[in-house]
Amino acid sequence: MTTSDTHTLSGRVAVVTGASSGIGESTAEALAAKGAAVAVTARRQDRLDALARRIEAAGGTALPLALDVTDPDAVAAVAARVQDQLGRVDLVFANAGVMLPAPIEELRRDQWDQQIDLNLKGLLYTIEAFVPSLVAAAAEGGPADLISTSSIAAQHLFPNFAVYSATKAFVTHLTDHLRMELGPKLVRTTTIEPGIVATELQSHVTDAGAQAWLEGAARSIQFLAPEDVARLVAFVAEQPRHVNLSHIRILPTQQQS
Ligand code: NDP
């Protein structure tokens, strides 16, 4: 393989939300390794700085920017900074999310709000801030990608995951529907629905039943690694611009549901 084969994303400007850990962190590294300049965003600045240092040490370009995507003004401000410092964004990986399963009868309105604010509204604010530059990039003849992280939970029923699953169904349906508007403008949209990935996501779970289910799954299934999803995102983005991998499920081989 030649250097130009490996730098399939050279000249691309990417934004990754939820880049301080897990799938987002790994994807930022994968995109940068293929030549994209990557704005890495999340709330934990120290983690972003460390990631940016690793990317730069490997010869890539990274811009670490603290961002809470539930604040639409903050997302708009970050979009302006990325435009100034890296150029026009043509690859958005809208990935930040939180999973807080609990029986509905526990009436955890705080957790419902947290999941809706981040998984659903945070995605919309990301789209609001970056779709204009994706459309502009495509209009000028380049590739443009809006890639969202949904979940297998968008399609499957899991006990006590109702609110999380509903937020991910929103992610899938929104992204699929946007294809109708953005596809004709040559902006590709992609929904990725992973099964279980070994990340910090499970560490936020407070419900004992869900924790037990996840621990049982970890004993019987080899979870995906964040790098497995990262490779997929890079593969999606490096396709010729008339090719849109629009809706992808990636599962641990042993995961049945
Ligand atoms: P992690 O918990 O490792 O990553 C979540 C990321 O979201 C972190 O970088 C976190 O950073 C960021 N984040 C949380 N709140 C906010 C906020 N308000 N504003 C901006 N960023 C925020 O888990 P994963 O990597 O697993 O999760 C990534 C995505 O993958 C999520 O959407 C999740 O739902 C989805 N997913 C995960 C699966 C799994 O099994 N792990 C399976 C299917 C889908 P910080 O705290 O620094 O802000």
Q: Of the residues 161, 164, 170, 223, which is catalytic?
A: 164
Question: What does the pLDDT read at residue 213?
Answer: 87
Does residue 60 register a pLDDT over 90? yes
Q: How far is the CA of 249 from the centre of ligand 1 (A)?
A: 17
pLDDT band at residue 5, thresholds of 50, 70 and 90? Answer: low
Mean pLDDT of the chain: 96
Question: What does the pLDDT read at residue 4?
Answer: 52
Does residue 2 register a pLDDT over 50? no
pLDDT band at residue 243, thresholds of 50, 70 and 90? Answer: very high
Q: How far is the CA of 80 from the centre of ligand 1 (A)?
A: 23
Report the residue among 201, 211, 232, 251 best suited for mutation to probe ligand 1: largest number of ligand atoms under 8 A from its CB. 201
125 catalytic residue (yes or no) = no
pLDDT band at residue 1, thresholds of 50, 70 and 90? Answer: very low
State the Cα–Cα distance between residues 29 and 21, nearest whole angstrom: 11
- Nearest CA, atom 17, ligand 1: 68
Q: How far is the CA of 33 from the centre of ligand 1 (A)?
A: 21
Q: pLDDT tens for residues 61-118?
A: 999 999 999 999 999 999 999 999 999 999 999 999 999 999 999 999 999 999 999 9
Report the residue among 29, 71, 99, 202 best suited for mutation to probe ligand 1: largest number of ligand atoms under 8 A from its CB. 99
- Nearest CA, atom 46, ligand 1: 43
Q: How far is the CA of 3 from the centre of ligand 1 (A)?
A: 32
The structural domains of the chain, ordered by start, are: 3-250 (3.40.50.720)
